[in-house]
Chain A
Amino acid sequence: MILLAFILGAAGLACLGLINPKHHDWALGPHVQTLDRKLLRGGACSALAASLAASMLGWGAAQGSAGWFGLLTLAAAMLLILRTYLSGQARR
C-alpha cells in the first residue's frame, strides 16, 4: 500500500514536470504532440490525491498524512536524479 502511494506520488509529480515544455520534449521526444496542460494538471492532482489516500490507508490517518510528504520527497528526489543523470546533460 505504501509502495502504491509512492508510485502514485511519483506519477503525479511526473505529470507536473511534463507541463514544462523542456521536460516534455526530453521525456516524450520533440515530435510528440504536446499533451493538454489541463489534462496533465488534472492527472497530477488525481494521482497525488490517490497517493495521499493510499498513504493514509497504509499508515493510518494521522501518520499517513505526515508520511505522505516523505514519500513525495523521495519520489521527487528520484525524478530529479533520473532527469539529471539519464540525459547526459550533466557533462555540459
Chain B
Amino acid sequence: MTLRQTQAVLHTWSGLLVGWALYTIFLAGTVSFWRDEISRWTRPMLGHQTDRALVLDRAQTFLDTNARGAKSWTIELPGDRGAGTLLTWQPQSKAGEKQARRRRRGDHEQWLDERGRPVIVPETRGGDFFYRLHFDLHYIPVLWGRWFVGFCAMMMLVAIVSGVITHKKIFKDFFTFRPGTRQRNWLDGHNATAVLALPFHLMITYTGLITLMTLYMPWGVAANYPSREAFYKDLLPSPQVVGRLEKPAPLANLDRVVAEAERRWNRGHAGIIRITEPGDTAARIQVLRRLSDRIVDGGQAIGFDGATGAWLKGPEPQSGGAVTRDVMIGLHAGRFAPMTMRWLYFLCSLAGTVMVATGLVLWGVKRREKLANPAQAHIGIRLIERFNVGFIAGLPVAMIGFLWANRLIDSAAKGRADLEILAMFLLWAFCILVGLGRPPRQGWITVFALGSLLAAGLALFDQIATPTGLVSSLMQRDIAMAGMEAGFIVVALVFALLARKVARHTPSTRLPRGRHTRMQVSKAGIAVPVE
C-alpha cells in the first residue's frame, strides 16, 4: 500500500465512524455563530438598544428590594448583539443546609428589558441550546458528552490530516469541479468544501480540542501539580473570599464602578458584574469584561470594594502560555468577530458541515458502485444510506421545529424550555423514521420538502402572528431580526431546490470499467441491469 492509499483508509474510517456525530457538532456549531440573534428571536419581548446607565440603576434598585441580604448578586449585561439583562442572586445558605450545586432554572432570576424594567420572559434556552448541544450534546451527563465530542474532534483532526495527504494532488488539480457525473459529483463537492475552507477546518478542530484540553489530556497537569485545583490556582487569579461582617453599608453606585473598570481596560466594555455580600461592609464587586471585546478569551476580572467603590485589584497580567491558550479559545468561539468576519466564520463553518455530509453520502455511493449488482446492496449499506437521510436532512428540519415550538408552546407552561428541546428531538426522530421507511430518494425528497414548508411557514407565522416578522423588523430597522426571518426564507428555498434536484436526478447508467451489461434506472432511483 502506498502512503496515499494507507491514508485513504485512515481518512475513510476516522471520518465514517463518527460522521453523524461530527455532522451534528458542526451544524450546531455553525448556527451558534448566531447564538445571540437566535436568543433574541426566542425572547422577542426584550428590546435591543440597551440604556446601560438606566439598566444598572434599576438593576441595583430591584436587587436591593428583592434580594436584600443575599450571598451574591450577578448582573449579566447584553453584548452589542444580545438583548435583555439577566439578574440572578444566591440567597444565604441557612444553617446546616448544603449549598445547592446548581441553581434550578427560574429560581432567583429576573430579566430586565432594554430600559431596565422587570419583564416576564417565557422560559427558553434560546440560542444557548444549540451552543451547548455543540459540545455537551443532550440528555446525557455533561462529562460523557464532552468526552464523546472530544473523541470525535480528535478523529476529525486525523481525518483532516490524512485527507490532505491522500489528496495531495488536490492543490494541483484544483478548480476542476465537475458537476454532473455521479460519484465525481459528490467527491468534488466533498473536496471543494474541504479544501476551500481548509485553514478554517484545521483551526476550528484544533482549537476545539484546546477548549477542553485539560479534560482530554490531563497528564501535563498531573506531572507538574499535586492536584487539578493547584493548577487552576496557578492559572487563574482567584477572587478574595471575604465572609459577611454583619456591618451594613450601602452598595457603591454600580454605574461609576463599571465606568472605572472600563477605563482600566482601556475603553473595554463590561459584560458581567458579580457582587458578593451586597449591603455589607465586606461587599466586593467583581467586573468581568465582555468576551466580544478581544480575540483573547477571558474576563480580565477587576475587583472593587463594594461599599466604597474603590479599586482593589485587576486586571491580572497573564503568562504567555495562558494568553496562547485563550487566543485559541477566542478563535474557536469567534466572539470577537465583527459582523463581516462573523459571516465568513458562518460560511466556512457551513462548508465544513457540507463537507461532513457529502463525505457520508459519498461513502454510500462509492460502496454501491463497487458492487457487482448495485441494485442489491447488503443491509449495511442500505441502512447507512437510509440513516443518512434522517440524520443529515432531519437535523436542520428539527432545529426549525425547535423554533416553531418556541412560538407555539404556551408562555406560562411549566418546563417549556425542556419541551422546546423535546420537540426538536421528536421531529428529528420522526425524520429518521421517514428515512428508514422509504427508499433513500423518496426519503430525501420528503424530509427536504417538510423542511421547506416548516421554514417558510415560520417566516409567515412570524409576520402574521407576532411583531417580529420580516416586514415589521425591517420597518423597525432591526437588521438582525430581519436577517433571521430572511434566513428562514432562504433555508426554505434551499430545501426546495434540494428536493427538486433529488427528484430530477437520474443516476448515471454508465458502468464501471469492464462491465458489459445494459443498465436502466429502477423505481428507487438506482441504476440496475436490464433483465
Contacts and interface: CB of A to CB of B under 8 A. Distances in A.
Q: Do A and B come from one complex?
A: yes
Interface of A: 2, 17, 20, 23, 59, 62-63, 66-67, 69-74, 76-77, 79-80, 83-84, 89-92
A55 B327 CA distance: 18
Interface string B282-296: 000000000000010
A90 B336 CA distance: 40
Contacts of B345: 70
Given A70-B345, A77-B196, A63 B175 contact: no
Interface in B192-224: 192, 196-197, 199-200, 203
Given A73-B200, A74-B347, A62 B177 contact: no
Interface residues of B, number: 25
A75 to B, nearest CB: 10
A73 B351 contact: yes
B344 interface: yes
A65 to B, nearest CB: 10
A89 B295 CA distance: 43
Given A17-B174, A74-B347, 15 more contacts: A17-B175, A20-B175, A63-B338, A66-B295, A69-B199, A69-B200, A70-B200, A70-B345, A71-B344, A72-B199, A77-B196, A80-B175, A80-B192, A83-B175, A91-B180
Given A80-B196, A84-B177, A2 B295 contact: no
Given A71-B344, A73-B348, A74-B347, A62 B175 contact: no
Given A63-B336, A71-B344, A79 B175 contact: yes
B331 interface: yes
Nearest to B193: A77
Contacts of B336: 63
A76 B340 CA distance: 17
A23 B347 contact: no
B196 A70 contact: no
B179 interface: yes
B497 interface: no
B192 A67 contact: no
A41 B94 CA distance: 73
Contact of B180 (A17, A70, A92): A92
Nearest to A20: B175
A67 B175 contact: no
B158 to A, nearest CB: 21
A92 to B, nearest CB: 7
Given A63-B295, A63-B336, A73 B344 contact: yes
28 contacts: A2-B340, A20-B175, A59-B338, A63-B336, A66-B331, A69-B199, A69-B203, A70-B200, A70-B348, A71-B344, A72-B199, A73-B197, A73-B200, A73-B347, A73-B348, A73-B351, A74-B344, A76-B196, A77-B196, A80-B177, A80-B192, A80-B196, A83-B175, A84-B177, A84-B179, A90-B179, A90-B180, A91-B180
Interface in B334-380: 336-338, 340-341, 344-345, 347-348, 351
Nearest to B197: A73
B32 to A, nearest CB: 17
Nearest to B177: A84
Interface string B55-88: 0000000000000000000000000000000000
B341 A59 contact: yes
B199 A73 contact: yes
A2 B344 CA distance: 12
A78 to B, nearest CB: 10
Contacts of B177: 80, 83-84
Contacts of A63: 295, 336-338, 341
Among A66, A73, A76, A83, residue most surrounded by chain B Cβ atoms (within 10 Å): A66
Nearest to B176: A22
Contacts of A59: 338, 341
Contacts of A67: 337, 340-341, 344
A9 B192 CA distance: 18
Contacts of B331: 66
Contacts of B327: 62
Nearest to B192: A80
Contacts of B344: 67, 70-71, 73-74
Contacts of A92: 178, 180
A89 B203 CA distance: 34
Contacts of B338: 59, 63
B470 to A, nearest CB: 26
Nearest to A75: B196
B508 to A, nearest CB: 13
A24 B200 CA distance: 29
A9 to B, nearest CB: 12
Nearest to A2: B340
Contact of B196 (A2, A73, A84): A73
Nearest to A72: B199
Nearest to A79: B175
Contacts of A71: 344
A89 to B, nearest CB: 8
A62 B326 CA distance: 13
